[in-house]
Chain A
Amino acid sequence: MNTYAKPRRGNTLWRVIVVLVVLLVIVWLLAMLFPGGGGDPTAKAAEATPDQIKQGEYLARLGDCAACHTAPGGKAYAGGLPIASPIGTIYSTNITPDPDTGIGKYSYGQFERAVRRGINADGHTLYPAMPYPSYAKVNDEDIQALYAYFMHSVQPVKQDNHAEDIHWPLSMRWPLTYWRWLFAPKVSPIETAATGDATMARGQYLVEGLGHCGACHTPRAFTLQEKALGPKDGTVYLSGSVNDNWVTPSLRGELASGLGSVPDDELIALLKTGRTERSAVFGGMSDVIEHSTQYMSDADLAAMVHFLKSLPAARQEQAVTYDAARHTALYSGNVSTPGAQLYIDNCATCHRTDGHGYGQVYPALAGNPVLNGENPGSAVRLVLHGATMPAGRDAPTQFSMPAFRERLNNQQIADILTFVRSSWGNRGGAVTAGQVADLRDKPPVGQPLMTSYDPRVRDPNELKADAEDQVPPTPPPSK
């Protein structure tokens, strides 16, 4: 039995392997032969008009193309920004009209397929770091304007694309075709509620389409697609997520942790300048303000906010109302609450004992949605690593909060945040030292807190050299 059974089991294994390989080849062939996706790669654009180019520039900012396609210190739209993904690092591509290294040879049809359908000129499927599932909602007119802008107004830059740092077999691109088949929506206009509210429709078009807000603010499934691409997919849409170890808050109507208690004009100011009388942005949203939303027209900002504010809460919450008891206690010198003394020593100078901060300078902690959600991750990160406000045309000052990671241990930070999340009416709940420990070394870590115009951003060695030695080396005497 034994001598017979063994090879038979071996035969079965071999058969399974052969069948799998054949299936795999069929799957591969299918993906290669029928990439699908629609669109006409040979479609030509009409003659570009100056108005169209200008509109394209506005839309490119709205879509925040530069956030990924311009590397820090690099040429505009020449790519090269490393983007961490679960399978390895990918690099954004050169989308300047350089014919050899950029998209200079792209026909309008090829451009349209790349932006809305995620297929490049070679027919390969793009990594979904490119938010084509959102851009699928962008209308023809806007895609044509974008094409006109990139082809006629962006400076061509000769810069080869950086190869991905992904190991075989994950480096094979064809399985992405299946991801696209499964998860990317068809290119089609947005289904708006038939209310006749044109502002609402415009807002939804911007949020779902070029704004691609869901890329960060909608939770993703295990297979990395956004769980919802619009309000029709349910209340999971824009209900908050975690990105790059930052908590991206819900943009829905939750009264404590979402936008439910934030007035429209405050949200508009936040998108325009990155700050308000009560709050300021941080993390990935800083880039969005700096490169994208600050350039939006007042009408478009108002439309986006109008739409966002129409989204009902995904979780029922009570609004946070200010409670002066903690302020009264601190003012009278009562620091008996755990974390209170640490708060006084490290935080109160800017955020004040009343938790109100200073308008457009130091954000209020009282009632801040960031401190009233379940996940304290963003607050933990802010205390550990600090943050710098983005630069806006209307608000050029980039205030920085210092990093406290070297000054405070995990328990101290947990105590401060527990104190802050339970003071002045806040109801965010306790933070543990373990939660701080989890985030202490998670990237991005230790980035210097500098303004975007600091010349040392371009040359971090200069910062290091400054710190090491204040006095430059002695040059030879002049002749």
Chain B
Amino acid sequence: MTRMKPVDVVLVGFGWTGAIIGMELVDTGLKILALERGAYRDTSPDFTYPHNADELAYGIRGELFQPLARETVTIRHNLNETAVPYRQYGSFLLGNNVGGAGIHWNGQHYRPSPEDLEFHSHISKRYGQKFMPEDMQIQDYGVTYDELEPFLDQFEYLCGTSGRAGNLNGEIKDGGNPFEGVRKREYPNPPVADNYGAKLFADAARSKGYKPFPQPSSNASRPYTNPHGVRLGPCNLCGYCERFGCFMYSKASPQTTILPVLMRKPNFELRTNSHVIKINLDSSGKRATGVTYIDAQGQQVEQPADLVIVSAFQMHNVRLMLMSGIGAPYDPKTGKGVIGKNYAYQMMSNVNVFFDKDVAINPFIGAGSGGNQIIDEFNSDHFDHGPHGFVGGGYILGGQTGGRPIQQLLVPPGTPAWGEKWKRAAKDSYLHTTGVQSHGSVMAYRDRYLDLDPTYKDAFGLPLLRITFDWHDNEYKMTQFLTDRAQEIADAMKPRQTSQTIRKPGGHYDVRQYQTTHTTGGVIQGTSPETSALNRFQQNWDVHNVFVTGASAFPQNLGYNPTGLIGGLTYMSVKAIRETYLKNPGPLVQA
């Protein structure tokens, strides 16, 4: 096995969090190496117009996604089933190459509500411990909103997020989200202009007494130069956002916000086609000595490093920790162990809204996030859950992200799936349809977790990650409640017709239907090594020179898109590394 020259810091995976950590540490002068299993990708020549606007290549065939034929995950609904591999993209989309999922996200850029971060404490205090089902094991992050605020802000100013503050230094502002935590300053950019579907939604929501606001969006509403001096272009609402790279330099990604500066630093190195398979430990098992990866030629390479940052996608982080033997694997029978614990997801529902021809909506004018309107009345603990008997919630969105021909062409219920009648319905509906969507949380449960599959292996002969997951009653109640509210608003839009997609009790988690790529947990952060894998700085409790970033740290899933919180937690973690850990390497929190 080849042994490379030691580096100070190795980043495993070069997406959002890897790029943030690299950038925040590069001025220390330390030698930083990013190992990325995919290839290099950038706006030009990879996402240029018109090639990027190819729905078949990117939307259906998943040009930007990890090839599942080489590595996937296996999925089962409960402990008694045999898991089978996820062989085609459906439920969630795994990013690939430099930038990772930060390339193909929509730019929906939220902050958590303050109570989301102390969720267990908050719910038990307000409703009592018994309000939660017995097998629900939600926890606190070990971080408060006030502590995190500067870092959430830092990430928004990196991305050039477009939005309107709803709570500026405690003052509730018209037109923003009145339920959000205190924001110390306005968004860096004003909101993207509403699409027409969003306007109809907002008017209807206001008529029901709600307070709609523009979806916070990392699709820049105007050219923007971030604190690193990197400039983003303006979003032109082309409708090719989720599943696509952005040709306008407008959607925030590592490429459009960090790489133009980081890639030029002499003490930073990126090695692509380098697939890390193990974090190596010294004989005590308490200190990492580096990582082992497989290079483009299929050779194993040892890379010594003083500090290991596990910054791959949530599922890959969990798998790498399990394969490296760091931390005790979670046992669903006893509830003990931490790696793989508290896997969670999100639960969506849709109300499609069909108008007559007198309401003209150009659905192709759309952005991944910019231009849509939101209500947040039913998210987090913004309302009294007491009478409703469930924990969690979500936001309700109105508008559309595009009018792509294959995946975004809606027809009214009752239309045949093909043939002349379908064609006529598609033609009649295309310019007169929009949507209302609920985006709901999923709590953590004792029997929902991740481990290594006993049967299936990847192209290298290494075990796949196994997901054991299905919906619980709490989430069915949550989605019914949210969807009823969404339907009421949709009806207030006075459409000709609506159709609903909702998950109901008796069903199962169906991996064929796309919902979100917001999978969370497995290497969670918290307040005690008994119940979490990481401390509040995302440092492993057992091996102090291993930090694990990303949504794998979420103790349960919230009703917002995760990227804003991921960025904030990463900035908080790297500040602790830079200012405290590097001066005196050791545990940042005493167990």
Enumerate chain A interface residues (CB-CB to B < 8 A): 349-350, 358-362, 386, 388, 391, 394-400, 402, 407, 448-451, 453-456, 462-463, 466, 470-478
Contacts and interface: CB of A to CB of B under 8 A. Distances in A.
Interface string B40-69: 101111001110000000000001000101
Contact of B40 (A349, A449, A455, A478): A455
Given A361-B223, A391-B264, 10 more contacts: A350-B236, A361-B231, A386-B44, A396-B228, A407-B50, A451-B260, A453-B260, A472-B273, A474-B70, A475-B459
Contact of B43 (A391, A400, A453): A400
A394 B223 CA distance: 16
A472 B49 CA distance: 26
Contacts of A450: 42, 44-45
Nearest to A277: B223
A456 B40 contact: yes
A304 to B, nearest CB: 24
Interface stretch (B291-299, B428-436, B566-574): B291-299
B462 A349 contact: no
29 contacts: A349-B236, A350-B233, A358-B222, A388-B44, A396-B230, A396-B261, A397-B249, A399-B231, A400-B44, A400-B45, A402-B49, A448-B45, A449-B44, A449-B45, A451-B42, A451-B44, A453-B260, A454-B40, A456-B40, A462-B39, A463-B45, A466-B39, A471-B69, A473-B298, A474-B298, A477-B460, A477-B461, A478-B294, A478-B300
B272 interface: yes
Interface in B206-236: 222-223, 225, 228-234, 236
A233 B42 CA distance: 47
A8 B43 CA distance: 75
A134 to B, nearest CB: 30
Nearest to B295: A475
Contacts of A466: 39
A322 B277 CA distance: 61
Interchain residue pairs A-B with the least CB separation, the first 5: A475-B298, A400-B44, A477-B461, A453-B263, A396-B260
A402 B233 contact: no
A397 B230 contact: yes
Given A397-B260, A450-B45, A471 B70 contact: yes
A371 B256 CA distance: 29
Contact of B249 (A388, A395, A399): A399
Given A394-B229, A407-B50, A453-B260, A470 B223 contact: no
A478 B233 contact: no
B459 A400 contact: no
Given A349-B248, A396-B261, A478-B462, A358 B223 contact: yes
Contacts of B277: 478
Nearest to A275: B231
Contacts, number: 104
Contacts of B260: 391, 396-398, 451, 453
Interface string B226-254: 00111111101010000000011100000
Given A449-B45, A475-B294, A399 B273 contact: no
A421 to B, nearest CB: 23
- Count chain A CB atoms within 10 A of each CB in B44, B234, B461 and give the residue with the most: B44
B132 interface: no
Contacts of B234: 358, 361
B143 interface: no
Given A361-B223, A475-B460, A476-B298, A470 B45 contact: no
A454 B43 CA distance: 11
B229 A349 contact: no
A395 B229 contact: yes
B270 interface: yes
B259 interface: yes
A396 B50 contact: no
What is the interface of chain B mostly: helix, strand, loop, or mixed? loop
A478 B460 contact: yes
Nearest to B297: A475
Given A472-B296, A478-B462, A361 B42 contact: no
Contacts of B228: 396
Contacts of B67: 470-471
A360 B229 CA distance: 12
A281 B230 CA distance: 18
Interface in B4-47: 39-40, 42-45
A284 B567 CA distance: 39
Contacts of A448: 45
Given A349-B248, A360-B231, A473-B298, A455 B49 contact: no
B233 A361 contact: yes
Given A388-B44, A396-B261, A450-B45, A478 B461 contact: yes
Nearest to B263: A453
B82 to A, nearest CB: 23
A464 to B, nearest CB: 11
Contact of A361 (B249, B264, B462): B249
Contact of A402 (B48, B259, B264): B48
Given A402-B44, A456-B40, A358 B233 contact: yes
Contacts of B231: 360-361, 395, 397, 399
B91 to A, nearest CB: 22
B456 to A, nearest CB: 14
B259 A453 contact: yes
Interface string B69-88: 11000000000000000000
Nearest to A477: B461
Nearest to B255: A451
A474 to B, nearest CB: 6
B470 to A, nearest CB: 32
Contacts of A388: 44
Contacts of B263: 451, 453
Nearest to A399: B249
Contacts of B233: 350, 358, 361-362, 399
A402 B231 CA distance: 18
Contacts of A476: 298
Nearest to B48: A402
Contacts of A361: 223, 231, 233-234, 249
A336 B63 CA distance: 38
A399 B272 CA distance: 23
